[in-house]
Amino acid sequence: MTSVPNIVSFGEILFDLIEGEPHLGGAPLNLAVQLKRLGADASIISAVGRDRLGDAVFSALEQYGMSSQYVRRCDYPTGTVSVTLDAEKVPRYDFLDNCAYDHISTEYRGKPDLFCYGTLSQRSEESRATLHRLWNELDTTFFYDVNLRQDFYSAERIRESMVRADIVKINDDEFRVLSELFAIPAEPSAMAACFGLDTLILTLGPDGCLVTSRGRTVHSSAVPVKVVSTVGSGDAFSAAFLFHYLKGEDLQLCADAGNALAARVAGQQGAI
């Protein structure tokens, strides 16, 4: 691998509507932008509408110094999600149905060092088919951010995604869901073994994270911060962790870097 990792992120670009204000986001885009800021060669495969928000996406990508080569424009509205924050600043989401990211059909001929995907963009047949095609075409390392939203998932889709992955990030709530769904003991090493994962990252909110990789487990404490919103903090964690992981740095350093960037994003309004 070169000193500058080439990473492609697949999935939704959308606008988080927080207190009525639109903030550009979507987990795959958040991840790609943060990776780009860290110094990776990062791009995204997605789709946006031929609308004002779609125009804003292309302007933002140019501002971030990112290519829009693999972002399709289509005759469906750019994705949006209404976000409400509870007393602990934890978000709840209400997603627009049948929007642009449900129609991802972009061709991709790159050779990335890492290919990243999640769960939400698999809710539609068209985007799911494109993802499956890329799984079969690419010979690379795969990262899966479980990132369950509303009821936009099934046991079959999660199982397929887990089996394809080399590295998985999952939060503590999702970990409990998968443990029950697949009757797996509630231990990170058990889940990693069940799906043949190289690395499993379990994020624990204010308790930091546990990372299990190749027979080793490390804990990293959360960085104290006055939380404004946790929207995008998990994606920031993933970006910092993956950037250092791909450079071959120590697992503890990777986890600590993830928590540090996650805290920085949690202290601001908006994911990026």
Q: What's the confidence (pLDDT) of residue 86?
A: 76
Nearest residue to 104 (alpha-carbon basis) of 46, 27, 26 = 46
- Angstrom distance (rounded) from CA 1 to CA 246: 8
Q: What's the confidence (pLDDT) of residue 258?
A: 96
Q: Hey, is 15 helix, strand or coil?
A: strand
Asked if residue 155 lies in contact with residue 119, where contact means CB atoms within 8 angstroms, the answer is no
Q: Which of the two residues, 220 and 83, has the higher pLDDT score?
A: 220
CATH class of 6-266: alpha beta
Taking each helix axis from N to C end, the angle separating 233-246 and 27-38, rounded to the nearest 10 degrees, works out to 50
116-169 pLDDT, tens digit each: 999 999 999 999 999 999 999 999 999 999 999 888 999 999 999 999 999 999
Q: What's the confidence (pLDDT) of residue 30?
A: 95
* pTM, to two decimals: 0.93
84 — pLDDT class (breaks 50, 70, 90): confident
17 — pLDDT class (breaks 50, 70, 90): confident
Helix (H) or strand (E) holding 170: strand 167-171
Nearest residue to 36 (alpha-carbon basis) of 68, 73, 80 = 68
Q: What's the confidence (pLDDT) of residue 269?
A: 66
- Angstrom distance (rounded) from CA 54 to CA 60: 10
271 pLDDT more than 90: no
19-45 pLDDT, tens digit each: 778 889 999 999 999 999 999 999 999
155-167 pLDDT, tens digit each: 999 999 999 999 9
Quickly tell me which residue has 């120590």 as its tokens.
Answer: 250
Q: What is the CA 77 to chain-centroid distance, rounded?
A: 22
- Angstrom distance (rounded) from CA 240 to CA 50: 32
46-56 pLDDT, tens digit each: 999 999 999 99
Q: What is the mean pLDDT of residues 185-192?
A: 93
1 — pLDDT class (breaks 50, 70, 90): low
User: Any residues with CB less than 8 A from the CB of 248 and at least 6 apart, and which?
Assistant: none
